[in-house]
Structure 1
Amino acid sequence: MKKKPRRKCTVCREWFHPTRDGQFVCSFECASAHGKAANDAAKAAAQLQVKQQQKKAAKSERKRQAERRMAVKPLSYFIKQAQQAFNDFIRYRDRHLTCISCDRHHDGQYHAGHYRTTGANPELRFDEDNCHKQCSVCNNHLSGNLTSYRPALIAKIGQARFDALMGPHALPKWTMDDYIRIRDKYRAKLRELKKQEAA
């Protein structure tokens, strides 16, 4: 019978002539070591699979808990988040401008000041024409300093947009999903502005 072509043992890397098809080891010792290595590899693969499943289950559980935590949050939590995202955008949009009311530029704190207040006009809470960079003195201590705010606002947005702002507006019935959408929208707009400035 013709000798089979020699090959390298997969364990000890020595050359040998196999006696049967599919033989990859040269001796019983190498076959035993190969079997042990295969078993170890199978065990390691099984352990890895178990770890991955545990990780996936933990991630799924964290997500479920986060959803449950969100479900019990009051609507005011989402209103606050949406308002914060909107205000951050307004302050960044107007970052190079002076206070819309007193026309001063200082190192103090700046707010996102609404011309028509959110208490009296909640429908204009997230209207970009209604909100502009304003110093804390005008916004807090001078109740918005509206006498100076008005002419500066008309000069900034134009008479037509000012008239539209002062006109009647339907009061939307915002839900939690609406506030989340508004929050995400203004976070995205802020990121886009920062990206444009960095470019």
Structure 2
Amino acid sequence: MAKKPRRKCIHCREWFHPVRDGQVVCCYVCASAVGKEQTAKNKADAMRAEKKRQREEEKEQRARQAERRQAVKPLSYFIKQAQQAFNEFIRYRDRHMPCISCGRYHDGQYHAGHFRTTGANPELRFDEDNCHKQCSVCNNHLSGNLTAYRPALIAKIGQARFDALMGPHELPKWKRDDYIRIRGEYRAKLKALKQQEAA
């Protein structure tokens, strides 16, 4: 019977003539070494898979905990979050403009000042025509400084949009999901504005 063609041992890299089909090592010592390497590799793979499974499990658990924490938060929390996102967008949108009421530029604090207040007109809380950059003095100490706000607002948005703003508005029945959606929308709008400026 003819010898099988010689091949290199996968462990010691010496040439040998295999005795049977599929033989890849030259001797028992090399076979034992390859077996140990394979066992170690399998063990390492199993440990990696287990660590990955644990990480994914922990991630899912954190997500479930975050969901549970969100579920017990009051509606006021989501209103506040949506309002913060909206206000931040307004301040950034008007960042190059002066205070809408007094027309001053200064290094002090600026607010997102509503022309029609959110207390009296909650339906206009997230109306972009109703909210503009305003200095803290006009907004807090002068109660919005509405006598100066009105002509500046008409000049900015036009009489037609001002009349629409002053007209009747239906009060939407916003729920938790609506506030979450509004928060997401205004965060996305702010991000888009910042990206436009960076480009």
Q: What range describes the TM-score normalised by the shorter chain of this pair?
A: over 0.9
Residue 151 (str. 1) matches residue 151 (str. 2): yes
Q: How much has 1:178 moved relative to structure 2? A: 0.2
**What residue identity is the alignment partner of 1:161?**
R
1:125 matched to which residue of 2? 125
Paired with 2:48 and 2:25, the residues of 1 have a C-alpha distance of 28
Structure 2 counterpart of 1:84, one-letter code: Q
Q: Which segment is superposed worse, 187-196 or 46-55?
A: 46-55
Cα distance between partner residues in 2 of 1:159 and 1:89 = 24
Please identify runs of 4+ aligned residues in structure 1 that moved more than 6 A. none
Deviations 1:118-177 (A, max 9, x none): 000000000000000000000000000000000000000000000000000000111000
Alignment partner of 1:79 is 2:95: no
Task: Tell me the distance in 2 between the aligned counterparts of 1:182 and 1:191.
Answer: 14
State the 1:72 CA deviation. 0.3
Whether 1:26 and 2:32 are equivalent positions in the alignment is: no
User: Where in structure 2 are the equivalents of 1:147-186 lying within 5 Å?
Assistant: 147-186=147-186
**Cα distance in structure 2, aligned partners of 1:171 and 1:158:** 24
User: How many Å separate the matches in 2 of 1:84 and 1:198?
Assistant: 23
Distance in 2 (CA, whole Å) between partners of 1:158 and 1:173 is: 29
Cross-structure match for 2:89 = 89
Aligned-pair CA distance for 1:44: 1.1
Matches within 5 A, 1:35-114: 35-114=35-114
In 2: Cα distance, 1:154 partner to 1:170 partner: 22
- 5+ residue gaps, structure 2, are none
Which residue identity is paired with 1:181?
R
Provide Cα deviations, 1:45-85, integer angstroms capped at 9, x if missing partner. 11111111111111110110000000000101100000000
CA distance in 1, matches of 2:59, 2:11: 40
> How many residues are matched?
199
DSSP-derived class of the 2:133 partner = strand
After superposition, give the CA deviation of every residue in 1:72-127 in whole Å (9 maximum; x if it has no partner): 00101100000000000000000000000000000000000000000000000000
Q: TM-score, normalised by structure 1?
A: 0.99
Q: Which amino acid aligns with 2:167?
A: G
AA in 1 matched with 2:100: I
Structure 1 residue runs without a partner (length 5+) = none
Give the superposed CA RMSD: 0.6
Any idea what SS the aligned residue of 1:170 has?
coil
Identity of matched residues, %:
77
Q: In structure 1, the residue corresponding to 2:13 is in which secondary structure?
A: coil
The separation in 2 between residues aligned to 1:13 and 1:190, in whole angstroms, is 63
Q: TM-score, normalised by structure 2?
A: 0.99
**Cα distance in structure 2, aligned partners of 1:83 and 1:7:** 74
